[in-house]
Amino acid sequence: MPDKNPYRKRIQIIVDLLGEIIRKGNVTSREELRELIKETYEKHGIVPIKGKATPPDLYDKEIASLYVIAKYGLALDDEYPSLFDNLFRTEEKYEEAIKNILENNYEEARKNLIEASSQGQIDSNTVARMLRVAFTKLLFGFITEDEFAEILKKTAEAIPEEERTVRNFVRFYIAFKVAEMISRGEIRNKGFKEASKKAIGLRLGFPRIAPRDDYIEAIAKEVFMVPDKVLEKVLLINRDEKKEKNNEHNE
């Protein structure tokens, strides 16, 4: 029977990892933290939270998961402030930006994002990483979907030049949630899968956005490890087309 909490193992791994970091005190930079996350995830057979692509900074983005559990799950920010100063300063800037966006302090939010950006500018990657912090809080149960929807809507207002980034993140979220529902056994046929796509988009306030099934398939297989035989029952997957593309690539 599918696990009703597909994040249980992930959260326990992160909690243990944070305990190790505090106990040993030998991780003092984000670079060291990235390497430790990568090593730990590979050991336990899980991948970072991701969409279809695997960007080069994926493990740096995954630091958001440790930040959310450290702050909201374990309340380590009061007891170990240096941990946050050294390892989670970027995520704290993203949270400041979210707070300012929700309070309509758009100029301050933009300043926060510039400070958080490795390039010193607001771009699609910076906005997506800010939204990832909110998304991770939602996944682990620290905000509601309504709160997340408000963050999405107001981010598009605060940073209109990155509206496309917000819409792409909505597409990613819908794909991720449908993949999660499949892994839980909540979606068992193609009709309910299509209805779920539309329902999530409506709840978020983006009714015209829907991900392709190959996007959902990639997340379901890589993040939730859903077997092909399950996916074939609920997704429109053209195996012959995929074989042709692979053959073309190999040639």
pLDDT at 2: 55
pLDDT at 40: 98
pLDDT at 239: 58
Residues lower than pLDDT 50 in the chain? 242-251
Distance CA 168, CA 67 (A): 23
Buried b (16+ CB within 10 A) or exposed e, 29-41: ebeebbebbeeeb
Instruction: Count CB neighbours of 141 within 10 A.
Output: 13
pLDDT at 159: 97
Distance CA 96, CA 9 (A): 29
What pLDDT digit, counting tens, does each position of 88-146 carry?
Answer: 999 999 999 999 999 999 999 999 999 999 889 999 999 999 999 999 999 999 999 99
pLDDT at 243: 47
Which residue, 121, 57, 59, 67, is CA-closest to 90? Answer: 67
pLDDT at 238: 73
Distance CA 207, CA 131 (A): 19
Distance CA 183, CA 213 (A): 15
Whether residue 123 contacts residue 57, with contact meaning beta carbons closer than 8 Å, is answered with no
Whether residue 64 contacts residue 91, with contact meaning beta carbons closer than 8 Å, is answered with yes
Which residue, 180, 112, 116, is CA-closest to 145? Answer: 180
